[in-house]
Amino acid sequence: MTTQIRELTPAQLQALTTGLPTYCPNMTFMLASQLYTTAQVVQLLTTVQSAATSVSTTKAAWTASIVAERAVAAKDGTLARELREMVGLMFANSPTTLNALAIAPRKTPKPLSAEARVAAEAKARATRLARGTMSKKQKATITGNVTGVTVTPVTSPSAPASASAAATPTTPAVGAAPSSPLPATASGGSGATASASPGSASHA
């Protein structure tokens, strides 16, 4: 059974590459049943480190490319889809052009049979009934009702004041001459009426 060894980090590879010539300058290493000198293992470590660095750089570039692609798709992807839909409608009757533009032709809707149409209408009615859906005319026939409504009249506060003003008598002006009394009348046997004047009273 082969034991899987965890990959070394770039820092660990760099430490071995620079440290082995200093601390093991003339040693021989048995690796996978093969002898390696210090110079050979340093070359091996350098190759592994270069590959790891290349992968890290490529991964960073790939991540940046993904981020850039998503930004472009969010900005202009919608316009590209709308353009494709528009071109598809323009050449709806030209399958050859649509094929050249990699646009699938729109499928013609298959007309419903008489049985399927009746079943669809029945299902629609059953759905409206289950949901309690009504048309405008049906809603207009439904009205509410109330019982025991009490109406409280509101009295205007200016009404008594106007009534009292109308009932107040008018006071005559000071110094006005009183009205003249009616002349006295005397009745005789013959029924004639005589009036006494101030001049005749003075002569008597």
- Is 26:38 a contact under the CB 8 Å cutoff? yes
Query: Which of 53-57, 91-95, 103-107, 185-189 is the least confident region?
Result: 185-189
As a whole number of angstroms, the distance between CA 164 and CA 151 comes to 28
Query: Which of 8-22, 56-70, 82-96, 179-193 is the least confident region?
Result: 179-193
**What is the band of 73 on the pLDDT scale with cuts at 50, 70, 90?**
confident
6: pLDDT strictly greater than 80: no
In a domain? residue 87:
no
For 75-106, the pLDDT digits (tens) are 888 888 899 999 999 998 898 998 998 898 88
181: pLDDT strictly greater than 60: no
In a domain? residue 115:
no
Torsion of CA 134, 136, 142, 143, to 10 degrees: 140
Query: Which of 45-54, 127-136, 149-158 is the least confident region?
Result: 149-158
Q: Tell me the pTM.
A: 0.35
**What is the band of 196 on the pLDDT scale with cuts at 50, 70, 90?**
very low
Average pLDDT, the chain: 77
- Is 49:13 a contact under the CB 8 Å cutoff? yes
- Closest Cα partner for 185 from 196, 169, 176? 196
pLDDT of residue 195: 45
- Is 20:38 a contact under the CB 8 Å cutoff? yes
**What is the band of 147 on the pLDDT scale with cuts at 50, 70, 90?**
confident
In a domain? residue 14:
yes
As a whole number of angstroms, the distance between CA 26 and CA 38 comes to 6
Number of domains the chain is built from:
1
Tokens of 105: 């032709």
In a domain? residue 31:
yes
pLDDT of residue 188: 45
**Residue 64 sits in which domain range?**
10-75
In a domain? residue 44:
yes
36: pLDDT strictly greater than 50: yes
For 163-180, the pLDDT digits (tens) are 555 555 555 555 545 555
Which are the contacts of 161, defined by CB distance < 8 A and separation ≥ 6? none
